[in-house]
Structure formats: C-alpha cells, structure tokens
Amino acid sequence: MQLVLPTLKEALSRNAELKLLVGDYLYIRQPQALELLIEELPGAEIRLHRSNGISFHPKGLFVSL
C-alpha cells in the first residue's frame, strides 16, 4: 500500500476519477490496508468484493489525464 498510495493521491489531486476494487479471494486481506485507503483517499470510490472462496480476477484500466 505504501508503494502505490502516493501515485493514487497524485491522481486524485489532478481530479482523476479513482475507483478501486479490492477482494478477499483466498481469504487474503489486511484490514489496516483498507483503512489506510479509506483515510488517505477520501475522493476515491473503494469497494470490497466478497468472493466466498470463488476465484476472482479483477482487471484494471489506467488512463493518463
């Protein structure tokens, strides 16, 4: 999280629309990381996908402004 957070903040500072989808596939999650996202990126839409153990492969699209 510490590696990508500065870039995400910079995108928000340029008025980028930031939507993040995080998941719990294989029950891997860090509540502290999610809290950090919510606290540090108040302008972002952040959602959690509950996989219930079913394979989930998020795709991302990055657009430069």
Q: Read off the pLDDT of residues 23-64 as tens digits, 9 standing for 90 and up.
A: 776 666 677 888 888 999 999 998 887 777 777 666 554 444
Least trusted range by pLDDT, from 15-19, 20-24, 27-31: 27-31
Total of domains in the chain: 1
Query: Is the pLDDT at 65 greater than 70, yes or no?
Result: no
Structural domain that includes position 20: 5-49
Residue 22 located in a structural domain? yes
Q: How far is CA 50 from CA 24, 55, 65, in A?
A: 6, 11, 31
pLDDT at 30: 75
Q: Looking at residue 17, what is its pLDDT?
A: 93
Residue 22 has pLDDT above 70, yes or no: yes
CB 34 within 8 A of CB 2: no
Q: Are 8 and 34 in contact (CB under 8 A)?
A: no
**Over the range 6-33, which residues count as b (16 or more CB within 10 Å of their CB) and which as e?**
eebeebeeeebeeebeeeebeeeeeeee
